[in-house]
């Protein structure tokens, strides 16, 4: 089966998520039978996603040992994710000039360097600054890693996405566990752990990942922002911004009211990460096949809003808080995968452009939420950040509903673009000879947590 990522000429509907990845005879090829290069990049993705939850178990310890307030500690997330968001706008510009492999290598070098500097720093301010440099490296890596997997993987887009989501789930699940174990020895341990593991990934990428061709088209710095003129992409981006606000309120602030030691925090968020993996890899595809993209997103976001509301009401109860946080992993995992599919189908622009634009918007929400949660809790109590988080998810549902016609059109079989969908596209994109006719499917090349 030909892989659209190799020639960059696939129409957005040629890689429809329900039909991609099948082999002749109707049998689906296993996404886990891949070349060495794919496994190398997938391993690096695991370590990269570990970095999201790695610091979670040590947040209270950092507050005590470095004499910092919760909002200061939350800046570890904010500097990392906001810089990642802004850097997403330039990753396509870089990748289109030096190629995907060297963009990944550059990102890995930055992650190795700044994680080592964070581990050797002497104060919260320095760690925040080094996490910002880490975020720049993260943007360069995640913006190209999925594109490389898609270009090299067997099984088409469906197989590549399953493999990528598996890497995400494993990374998110292992991050808090390793962070808790290393953090129990020293708060510096998780940072140095990333340094060692990413160094291994860097060497393996240099040796085992082949040369990737430079794109024929050099992306400009303005293209990602211009892509947001497409209503479908803007709708999904704003939906993800609100959803990620709640996601990272739970991930970034919930450790403080739990009042657990580093080990136990690691175990709680390992359970959370395991459910993220379960939701992303197993439940999301089944729900999507049964309900479709739109209804799956509406249902899942509604359940996530209820879960965050339970956290807001029961945050004073340690048992309620722990159970609700762990359960939220299922909804986060499902949303990550299905949103990836939705972005693939609604964005009528090239994959790197769509990834940069979408990543920019959603990482802004992810980065600002933890810091805002710390400030709100200090001023109004620990319940308010989670009430705001639940409200943000409800707002995400309303934004998604405003683009329901486009989302429904994206679920049609390949080549069956509706009139409603065409009305949203510029004239030159709607016609068969326009840019949309040759654009690559828009793949979210770095969700967390979203990711």
CATH number of the domain encompassing residue 319: 1.20.1250.20
Q: What is the CA radius of gyration of the chain?
A: 20
Token pair 């949203």: residue: 424
Would residue 1 count as lying in a domain? no
- Whether 123 shows a pLDDT value over 80: the answer reads yes
Q: Span 333-361, mean pLDDT?
A: 81
Q: Say if 408 falls within a structural domain.
A: yes
Place 412 in a pLDDT band, splitting at 50, 70 and 90: low
The whole model's pTM is what? 0.78
Write the pLDDT tens digit of every residue in 9-20: 333 333 444 443
Query: What average pLDDT does this structure show over 266-270?
Result: 87
Asked if residue 16 is part of any domain, the answer here is no
On whether residue 273 sits in a domain, the answer given is yes
pLDDT of residue 390: 97
246 has pLDDT over 90: yes
> Helices 156-185 & 189-208, crossing angle to 10 degrees?
150
Count of residues making up the chain: 451
CB 175 within 8 A of CB 51: yes
Asked if 168 and 247 touch (Cβ cutoff 8 Å), the reply is: no
Q: Identify the pLDDT of residue 152.
A: 73
Q: What is the mean pLDDT of residues 356-362?
A: 86
Do the Cβ atoms of 33 and 175 come closer than 8 Å?
no
Residue 250 near residue 52 (C-beta atoms within 8 A): no
Once rounded to an integer, what is the mean pLDDT over residues 410-431?
44
Which domain does 233 fall in, by range?
31-437
The residues that bridge with 22 in the sheet, in sequence order, are: 28
Does any domain span residue 18? Answer: no
Would residue 5 count as lying in a domain? no
Q: Which residues contact 321 (CB under 8 A, 6 or more apart)?
A: 254, 257, 258, 311, 314, 315
pLDDT higher than 50, residue 266: yes
**pLDDT of res. 106:** 94
Q: How many domains does the chain have?
A: 1
3-state SS class at 441: coil
In a domain, 373, yes or no: yes
The reported pLDDT for the residue numbered 48 is 80
pLDDT value at 308 more than 90: yes
Over residues 211-226, the pLDDT tens digits come to 777 667 777 888 888 8
Flag whether pLDDT at 26 surpasses 60.
no
Q: pLDDT at residue 140 above 80?
A: yes
């Amino acid at each position: 089966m030909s892989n659209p990522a190799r020639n960059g000429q696939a129409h957005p509907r040629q890689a429809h998520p329900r039909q991609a990845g099948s082999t002749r005879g109707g049998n689906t090829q296993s996404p886990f039978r891949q070349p060495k290069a794919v496994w190398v990049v997938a391993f690096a993705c695991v370590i990269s996603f570990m970095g999201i939850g790695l610091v979670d178990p040590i947040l209270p310890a950092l507050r005590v040992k470095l004499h910092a307030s919760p909002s200061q500690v939350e800046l570890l997330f904010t500097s990392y994710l906001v810089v990642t968001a802004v850097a997403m706008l330039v990753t396509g510009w870089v990748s289109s000039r030096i190629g995907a492999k060297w963009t990944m290598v550059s990102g890995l070098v930055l992650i190795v360097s700044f994680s080592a500097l964070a581990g050797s720093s002497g104060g919260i301010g320095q760690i925040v600054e080094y996490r910002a440099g880490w975020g720049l490296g993260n943007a360069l890596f995640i913006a190209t890693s999925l594109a490389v997997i898609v270009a090299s993987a067997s099984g088409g887009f469906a197989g590549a996405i399953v493999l990528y989501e598996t890497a995400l789930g494993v990374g998110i699940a292992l991050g808090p566990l390793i962070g808790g174990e290393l953090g129990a020895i020293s708060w510096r341990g998780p940072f140095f752990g990333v340094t060692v593991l990413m160094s291994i990934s860097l060497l393996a990428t240099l040796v085992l990942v082949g040369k990737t061709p430079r794109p024929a088209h050099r992306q400009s710095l303005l293209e990602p922002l211009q892509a947001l003129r497409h209503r479908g992409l803007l709708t999904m981006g704003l939906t993800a911004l609100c959803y990620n606000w709640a996601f990272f309120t739970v991930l970034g602030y919930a450790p403080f009211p739990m009042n657990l030691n580093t080990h136990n925090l690691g175990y709680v968020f390992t359970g959370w990460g395991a459910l993220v993996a379960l939701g992303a890899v197993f439940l999301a595809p089944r729900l999507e096949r049964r309900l479709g993209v739109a209804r799956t997103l509406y249902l899942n976001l509604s359940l996530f809003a209820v879960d965050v509301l339970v956290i807001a009401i029961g945050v004073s109860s340690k048992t309620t808080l722990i159970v609700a946080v762990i359960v939220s992993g299922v909804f986060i995992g499902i949303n990550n995968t299905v949103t990836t599919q939705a972005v693939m189908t609604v964005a009528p622009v090239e994959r790197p452009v769509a990834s940069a634009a979408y990543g920019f918007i959603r990482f802004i929400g992810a980065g600002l939420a933890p810091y805002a949660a710390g400030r709100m809790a200090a001023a109004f109590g620990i319940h308010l950040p989670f009430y705001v988080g639940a409200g943000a998810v409800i707002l995400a549902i309303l934004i998604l509903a405003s683009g329901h016609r486009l989302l429904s059109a994206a679920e049609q079989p390949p080549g069956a673009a509706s009139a409603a969908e065409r009305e949203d596209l510029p004239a030159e994109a709607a016609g068969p000879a326009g840019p949309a006719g040759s654009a690559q499917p828009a793949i979210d090349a770095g969700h967390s947590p979203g990711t």
